[in-house]
Amino acid sequence: MFELFGISSQALFGQLLIGLINGSFYALLSLGLAVIFGMLNIINFAHGAQYMLGAFAAYFLLQYAGLGYWWAILLAPIVVGITGIIIERLFLQWLYKLDHLYGLLLTFGLALIFEGTFRNFFGSSGLPYSVPPALQGGQNLGFMFLPNYRGWVVVFSLAVCLTTWFVIERTKLGSYLRAATENPALVRAFGINVPRMITLTYGFGVALAALAGVMAAPIYNVSPQMGANLIIVVFAVVVIGGMGSIMGAIVTGFGLGLIEGLTKVFFPEASNTVIFIIMAIVLLIRPAGLFGRSA
Amino acid sequence: MKRMFTLTAVAVVLGCGYAQAQYTDGTIKIGVMNDMSGTYSDLSGQGSVIAARMAVEDFGAAAKGMKVEIVGADHQNKPDVGSNVVRTWIDVDKVDVIVDVPTSSVALAVNEIVRDKNKVFLVSGAAASDLTGPKCTPNTIHWTYDTWALANGTGKAIVKTGGDTWFFLTADYAFGHALERDTAAVVEKNGGKVVGRVRHPFPGTDFSSFLLQAQASKAKIIGLANAGSDTINSIKQASEFGITQSGQNLAALLAFITDVHALGLQTAQGLIMTEAWYWDLNDANREFTKKFAPQFKGVHPTMVHAGVYSAVTHYLKAVEALKSDADGKAVVAKMKEMPTDDKLFGKGEVRADGRKIHPMYLFEVKKPAESKAPWDYYKLRATIPADEAFRPLADGGCPLVKS
Amino acid sequence: MQRVAKAGGDQALRRHSEAIAFLVMASLLVLAPMFAYPVFLMKALCFALCACAFNLLIGYVGLLSFGHALFFGWASYISAHAAKVWGLPPELAILSGAAAAAGLGAIVGALAIRRQGIYFAMITLALAQMMYFFAVQAPFTHGEDGIQAVPRGKLFGLIDLADQTNMYVTVLVIFLGCFLLIYRIINSPFGEVLKAIRENEPRAISLGYRSERYKLVAFVLSATFAGVAGATKALVFQLASLTDVDWPMSGEVILMTLVGGLGTLFGPVAGAFFVVTLENYLTTIGQWVFVVQGVIFVVCVLLFRRGIIGELAQVLRVKL
């Protein structure tokens, strides 16, 4: 046990770990947002609600189908991703020709619909979802006690983030996506079905949000409100990271989680606002974001 | 959006005909306002409306020719929503008495409005002891329990058994602050020490970072100055992080039987709490529970529900005696003048500062093996007699009390 | 001959459509307390003013601010604090609230104007949320409890605002006054430059206008009017709470303007009354009120982009 600036190592590492866990959620969610924004130029305000839908999907799978966490990790993103595809076909496709702000307003309305419906049926306090048996318990690491599930969250999100980045930046499919973002007409001329790619990309972004929701369920309880306040922090993360940058979203997400954790140790009152303060500073120095291309 | 309130009009019109009594609008309208969908919805919620209805029925309002109507609303734990509901209720809907209102920040706001409009406010759900202290009014009676009574019960008992260093995890609003303040005072008065505290947003979801701070403080007791699902989650997450296993004890400063039910006896066993009423204490309570539970999806009545029943009963008695519900101050004065007597709380009284007096009980949660049926959760550790259970009249700082 | 005369008459009507609409609106508002609960009306008026302030930015400058709750809510806090703790009379309390909003507007504007379109919206949202957390922490706001029991006081030391009628007249005068001010701003050389910037910013710059400065001034003005609305609201309800600074409040203001008609003069007012009335009647159906709001958003964006007043203006072929 050592002391750093009067804070014990136990407290420090504990808060850093919690910061890293929060950072995993920031990274996963901002990744989904960045992917969607990169392709569709739409800010998906419904992202927080879709995160919530993922958590509820996991809850329903357990309650009504007896399917546990591991099934939920697979099925919930698919189910919610499909609802995302339906949304894109039904609503979003009409807005591409309009001012981008309408996309923001529409997804904001969708978020209200989802959250309101669930609030009506489930109230606003949380529903319990237990940690899967395989991940219960924890390790005593000496300087702190690490619950197994929280360790898993960090590892798995990192894996998902890096895989997504790899697919988009380093594979052929990813290069088609990136090309379609820059010049859809040209890419279409090459015979690639751009509208279908856009639909699938939106579905994928939504599925990422739902995956984050499933992972959040055992920690944060399943509640209709869970996405609402998180989404604003994620917006700030995306602004800091740079709107179209995948790696930017991942790095900033984890990084900001860590900074938040540190702030909780040394200056707890500011822990909620530190991300926004950093956003303000980044905007002053580098308006395009840390990793962003100047838009 | 969040500004709006849910008016679930549960209008129960009992009886008909107009007595010679002068009731405003010919009706005695009771408004039950609480949290119907959030953190406190099980310990109060629709159950309080049911309790109020049962009180009106048992009082026999219909037979006495009194027309009584009950309406319910959800304040969503927000002072602005609660204020709007109460204002509209009084100005437009001619509601005469507001009942329940858990969430002290809402109760404090309603307290002011009811005084300005000269109606009656019977608080069963909220806890802030300021309601009978600096913020007391001639229109408000604080029923059931308050932060001082809880601190005096739980706090003192724990310090006396060796838990003398405390770290507080506090809900960051009026109730949490009051509970922390009153408990800290009791702890220090009995020789203990408060080594630290942290405030969490209300309502909270993830308490891990706060619990880690509590763990780092090495206090013997982590005092949970919160309620409802906040308490439940704090306890669950403390267990997840190995805090309870490694020697620190949790003190749930305000816990209801609904919380124990949500936690399960496996997690909740050994918890010590102070309550004003328990369904299994005597036959009258059990009989009440038998009628109540089926109406509230099996949930057994909490002390808040019992308080609503008791308060409405006494209110109706006072209004009957006065033959009028128009002047809030007069009704409350009558309620203070008449001793209380109902089947749930027995005999008691309402003090000059608006504090209802009755004994408080110290309970310990049973081990799973000791419980014979669902909701059989408590064993009685001690009874705190009525004259010791609440803050002495002179100490409150209530302007109504002539010193 | 007759046809020309009729056309002439029509033209005159069209030209003065806004003045006529204003007179209609003002008379309706004067008579309204006889039919509706005054507190409900005052609430609608405060929101209408906030929506007009928001509309100034989106309708005439083309900037979508998702953070108007910041100005509305913080002005409400300052005004409540001024009235309760500093004991200022209501007119000074409202002015302090408005001044606070103006100051915040300058800071937020300076940061947000650097970016356009969606980025601008997200930055305003994030900064507003930061100030929300600030409000939770700051001791003078009392966090969850809010600033309660705010005294309405005596206007100019003479008129007791505890009387409902006096309060209503005051709120109405404030609203109509600010409405006329906004009209004046829009229909002024300054307003014309704003519209030019909205239409084609590079061209406006090439004509020598410092667009950044104009946008910032517009932003500060918008913030100030929102501040007046918030400061007044604190006195009407005698309460300033976290709900006013929370981001759903910003969303509600946008909803009102969208429903009423973006970029029309009377749209925000109609929208505000529509939404407040709707919420009042929907209270019986509980949390569905959020769902209804969401549905209205979706429907308006997809099918009804012009809003109530916009459609009306289109049908009558006048300017509203």
pLDDT tens-digit series, residues C41-100 = 999 999 999 999 999 999 888 899 999 999 999 999 999 999 999 999 999 999 999 999
Distance from CA of B240 to the nearest CA of A (A): 7
The reply to whether A10 touches chain B by the CB within 8 Å rule is yes
- A138 with B209: Cβ contact below 8 A: no
Q: Per the domain annotation, does A133 fall within a domain?
A: no
Mark which residues 274-313 of C lie under 8 Å from A by CB: 286-298, 300-302, 305
CA atoms of B2 and C26, how far apart (whole Å): 29
Instruction: Closest CB to B91: pick one of C37, C244, C284.
Output: C37
Task: Residue C253: name the closest of C44, C101, C59, C47 by CA.
Answer: C47
Distance from CA of B374 to the nearest CA of C (A): 31
Beta bridge partners, A4, equal A7
CA atoms of A86 and C268, how far apart (whole Å): 32
Q: Answer left, alpha or beta for residue C244, where phi above 0 means left and psi between -120 and 50 means alpha.
A: alpha
In this predicted structure, what is the pLDDT of residue C287?
Answer: 64
CA atoms of B100 and C276, how far apart (whole Å): 27
Location of structure tokens 């759900």: B125
Q: Per the domain annotation, does A135 fall within a domain?
A: no
Instruction: Closest CB to A125: pick one of B39, B208, B240.
Output: B39
- B37 with C286: Cβ contact below 8 A: yes
Total residues found in chain A within this entry = 295
Per-residue tokens: C253: 């203001």
Most A CBs within 10 Å: which of B167, B212, B232, as the mutation test of the A interface?
B212
Task: Residue B220: name the closest of B165, B263, B267 by CA.
Answer: B165
Q: Per the domain annotation, does A66 fall within a domain?
A: yes
Q: Per the domain annotation, does A130 fall within a domain?
A: no
pLDDT 10s per residue in chain A (295 long)? 455 556 667 678 778 888 898 899 999 999 999 888 877 778 899 999 999 999 999 999 988 888 888 989 999 999 999 999 999 999 988 888 888 788 889 999 999 999 989 988 887 667 878 888 888 888 877 767 788 888 899 999 999 999 998 988 888 888 888 887 777 788 888 888 888 888 988 999 999 999 999 999 888 878 888 888 788 889 888 888 887 788 888 999 999 999 988 887 777 777 778 888 898 888 878 877 788 765 4
- A-C interface: how many C-beta pairs under 8 angstroms? 115
The total of structural domains in chain A comes to 1
Q: Which residues of B touch A221 (CB under 8 A)?
A: 205, 233
The most distant pair of C-alpha atoms in chain A lies apart, rounded to whole Å, by 64
The reply to whether C107 touches chain A by the CB within 8 Å rule is no
Tell me which residues of chain B have a pLDDT lower than 70. Answer: 1-22, 403
The reply to whether C237 touches chain B by the CB within 8 Å rule is yes
In this predicted structure, what is the pLDDT of residue B19?
Answer: 38
> Which residues constitute the domain of residue A42?
10-111+148-285
Beta bridge partners, A189, equal none
Contact B269, B378 (CB under 8 A): no
Which helix (H) or strand (E) segment is B165 a member of?
A: strand B165-171
Task: Residue A206: name the closest of A26, A31, A27, A21 by CA.
Answer: A31
Torsion on CA atoms A141, A146, A147, A153, rounded to nearest 10: -120
10 Å CB burial of residue C184 (0-12, 13-18, 19+) is exposed
- Hey, is B362 helix, strand or coil? strand
In this predicted structure, what is the pLDDT of residue C316?
Answer: 84
Task: Residue B401: name the closest of B75, B7, B137, B63 by CA.
Answer: B137
CA atoms of C43 and A39, how far apart (whole Å): 42
Alpha helices in chain A (DSSP H): 9-40, 47-65, 69-90, 100-122, 148-170, 172-182, 184-189, 194-220, 226-241, 246-266, 274-285
Beta bridge partners, A294, equal none
| Chain B interface residues (partner C, CB cutoff 8 A) | 1-9, 37, 74, 78-81, 83-84, 87-88, 91-92, 104-105, 108-109, 112, 172-174, 201-202
In this predicted structure, what is the pLDDT of residue B8?
Answer: 35
Chain C residue with CA closest to A234: the answer is C126
Say how many CA atoms lie within 13 Å of A121 toward its Cβ: 8
- R_g over Cα of chain C: 20
The reply to whether C125 touches chain A by the CB within 8 Å rule is yes
Mark which residues 105-144 of A lie under 8 Å from B by CB: 112, 119, 123-126, 128, 131, 138, 140, 144
Q: Per the domain annotation, does A4 fall within a domain?
A: no
Distance from CA of C137 to the nearest CA of A (A): 7
Instruction: Closest CB to A116: pick one of C129, C130, C287.
Output: C287
Distance from CA of C169 to the nearest CA of A (A): 35
Most B CBs within 10 Å: which of C47, C77, C129, C148, as the mutation test of the B interface?
C148
In this predicted structure, what is the pLDDT of residue C285?
Answer: 59
Q: Which residues of C touch A279 (CB under 8 A)?
A: 123, 126-127
Inter-helix orientation angle A226-241/A100-122, to 10°: 150
CA atoms of B48 and B99, how far apart (whole Å): 9
Rounded (to 5) percent helix, strand, coil in chain B: 40, 20, 40
Q: Which residues of A touch C115 (CB under 8 A)?
A: 283, 287
Q: Per the domain annotation, does A225 fall within a domain?
A: yes
Q: Per the domain annotation, does A79 fall within a domain?
A: yes
Integer CA distances (angstroms), B122 to A43, B46, B48, B57, B352, in order: 48, 17, 12, 19, 14
Q: What are the backbone angles phi and psi of residue B348, rounded to the nearest 5°?
A: -165, -165
10 Å CB burial of residue A270 (0-12, 13-18, 19+) is middle
In this predicted structure, what is the pLDDT of residue A125?
Answer: 67
- B205 with A126: Cβ contact below 8 A: yes
Report the 10 Å Cβ neighbour count for A84: 31
Q: Which residues of B touch C246 (CB under 8 A)?
A: 2
In this predicted structure, what is the pLDDT of residue C286?
Answer: 61
pLDDT digits (tens, 9 = 90+) for C267-290: 999 999 999 998 887 766 566 788
Does the N-terminal peptide bond of residue B385 adopt cis geometry, omega within 30 degrees of 0?
no
The neighbours of chain C, by the rule of 3 or more Cβ pairs under 8 Å, are A, B
Q: Which residues of A touch C127 (CB under 8 A)?
A: 276, 279-280
Task: Residue A191: name the closest of A169, A175, A171, A176 by CA.
Answer: A176
CA atoms of C82 and C93, how far apart (whole Å): 5
In this predicted structure, what is the pLDDT of residue B1?
Answer: 42
- B212 with A223: Cβ contact below 8 A: no
Q: Per the domain annotation, does A1 fall within a domain?
A: no
